[in-house]
Amino acid sequence: MRNERYNLIAQTGRDTPMGKLMRRYWLPVALSSQVAEPDGKPLLTWLLGERLVVFRNTQGVVGVLDDHCLHRGVSLSLGRNEDCGLRCLYHGWKFAVDGTIMETPNDTNPALRANRKARAYPVREQSGLIWTYLGPAELEPPFRRFDFDDAPEGQRHAFRANARANYLALWEGGVDSSHVGMLHTNDVRPSWAAKQRGEDVPASAWDSLAPSYEVDDTDYGYRYVAFRAIPGRDDARHARQVPAILPCMRFIPGHSDFAIALMDVPMTDTETATYQIAYSHNEPITREWARAFLGFNGERFNEETCTVDMTWPHDMGQDREAMKNGSWSGFAAIEFEDVAMAMSLNDPYDRSSETLVAADIAVTRLRQTLYKAVQAHEADGTAPGAGREDMTGVIAYDRVVLNSEDWKTV
């Protein structure tokens, strides 16, 4: 893909084609846990290049406002969250969750409060996430419901990791199945580690490093399946099916009933908030277990700030000594392996220099899907899948599929 075309789908600022398309969808802006306390500390964050403040008022209602005070533009995130409003420290102007001006201590003209409002955005709180919509009010889509929304409360856990990487670099890694058996060798290929120890462990489907693919275009984006040969079986294949959902979402299958929903949400063009919802409909999973599974229990993940502590190229946290002693990558967990790869692309890189192969079909289809979606939106305002309210049937799976079965219907 030519660099200019890639940039068209990677850049998400207010006036960019991709930014305009992304603003047509509800997007998560924070975890509920980041503003859990009524009248608690406001959260400063970014979404699609917009600087926002998220706060929970005295009654527990969440507001999402432009962080710049309507008066003189200073940060509302520094303000006082009290008495059902957010008060700017500078001159005391106070705003409700819907942007209504509640008080202007240095101006007693009631017309000012009646005729002006801070820029506020619609809010929905569901499944441990706070969602907002930045697009035109008259085009606001229905709020979508996903498979994880139907999981029992105690079997659904939401996390967020902020990484200094473009959203598309992270999303491409997420749909690329051929890297799983290589980059994530520590977790999915025990036969490799056993060999380093001089032990003999039977090979598994994940030892097949060149899976074959099939792709199916859908109204929400596309889905693909990666087939891997199963040692000793010629009647079936291991199948890993992953849906890619516009504008920035995917599901990853876990074991049995366990799954992970991921959204690589652009904060800016160089920073991404990846929201991960680990859930199960039938198997009890604790937050502690989910956090350890995702790799959010190491020193490089700060749960308070939701940041993955890495910098390229100076400090990625790679342990070369561990690589000499049985670790494939030298990184502590799958999340850090993925983030490290995406962050290493931060320097300007000409995508036309890539050497793409058949195993990259999920990545090339993602780029094609986003490019076509941008073109459609520019032409007639279409936002693929935004109007589909019920998304509960869109799931991922990781299972054995008989050669006689259709992977689209199993």
Output the six-digit token pair for 300. Answer: 């490089």
Distant-in-sequence, close-in-space partners of 111: CB < 8 Å, separation ≥ 6: none
Question: How many other β-carbons are positioned within 10 Å of the β-carbon of residue 208?
Answer: 19
Q: Which residues pair with 54 in a beta bridge?
A: 43, 64
User: Which residue, 26, 57, 21, 16, is CA-closest to 39?
Assistant: 57
Dihedral sign of CA atoms 294, 344, 249, 125 in order: positive
**CA distances to 22, 136, 242, 386 from 381, in Å:** 12, 11, 27, 11
Name the class of domain 145-402.
alpha beta
Residue ranges per structural domain of the chain: 27-132, 145-402
| Cα 156 to Cα 151, 279, 288, 344, 385, distances in angstroms | 6, 4, 12, 31, 24
Amino acid code (one letter) for 280: S
Q: How far, in Å, CA of 226 to CA of 224, rounded? A: 7
pLDDT of amino acid 254: 83
Q: Which residues contact 165 (CB under 8 A, 6 or more apart)?
A: 270, 271, 272, 339, 342, 343, 345, 346
pLDDT in the model for residue 186: 87
Which residues have C-beta within 8 Å of that of residue 174, sequence separation ≥ 6? 250, 252, 262, 264, 338
- Give the Cα separation of 64 and 124 in Å (integer): 10
CA distance 86 to 31: 19
Provide the pLDDT for residue 152. 94
Name residue 260's amino acid.
I
Question: What gap in Å lies between CA 204 and CA 274, rounded to an integer?
Answer: 30
| Contact between 170 and 342 (Cβ < 8 Å) | yes
Pairing mode of beta strands 212-217, 156-163: unpaired
Query: Global pTM?
Result: 0.94
Whether 121 contacts 135, CB under 8 Å: no
Going by DSSP bridges, is the β-strand pair 94-95/397-402 parallel, antiparallel, or unpaired?
Answer: unpaired
CATH of domain 27-132: 2.102.10.10
Q: What is the pLDDT of residue 2?
A: 80
Task: Return the sign of the alpha-carbon dihedral for residues 17, 21, 22, 24.
Answer: positive
Q: Which of 309, 372, 363, 394 is nearest to 170 (CA)?
A: 363
Angle at the Cα of 369 (from 367 to 372), degrees rounded to 5? 105
- What span, in angstroms and rounded, lies between the C-alpha atoms of 299 and 292? 12
SS3 content of the chain, % helix, strand, coil (to 5): 30, 30, 45
Q: Describe the crossing of helices 361-380 and 167-175 by its angle, rounded to 10 degrees.
A: 130
Q: What does the pLDDT profile of the chain (410 residues) look like in tens digits?
A: 788 899 999 999 999 999 999 999 999 999 999 999 999 999 999 999 999 999 999 999 999 999 999 999 999 999 999 999 999 999 999 999 999 999 999 999 999 989 999 999 999 999 999 999 999 999 999 999 999 999 998 999 999 999 999 999 999 999 998 899 899 998 888 778 777 777 777 778 778 888 899 999 999 999 999 999 999 999 999 999 999 999 999 999 987 789 999 999 999 999 999 999 999 999 899 999 999 888 888 888 988 889 888 888 888 899 999 999 889 999 988 889 999 999 998 767 788 889 999 999 999 999 999 999 999 999 999 999 999 999 999 999 999 999 999 999 98
Q: Which is it for strands 101-103 and 249-253: parallel, antiparallel or unpaired?
A: unpaired
* Euclidean distance between CA atoms 103 and 307, whole angstroms: 35
Integer Cα distance of 403 and 227 in angstroms: 11
d(CA 312, CA 81) in angstroms, rounded, equals: 37
CB-based burial label for 199 (10 Å; 0-12, 13-18, 19+): exposed
Count of CB atoms situated within 10 Å of the CB of 253: 18
pLDDT, position 271: 95
Residue 394 to residue 26: CA distance in whole angstroms: 17
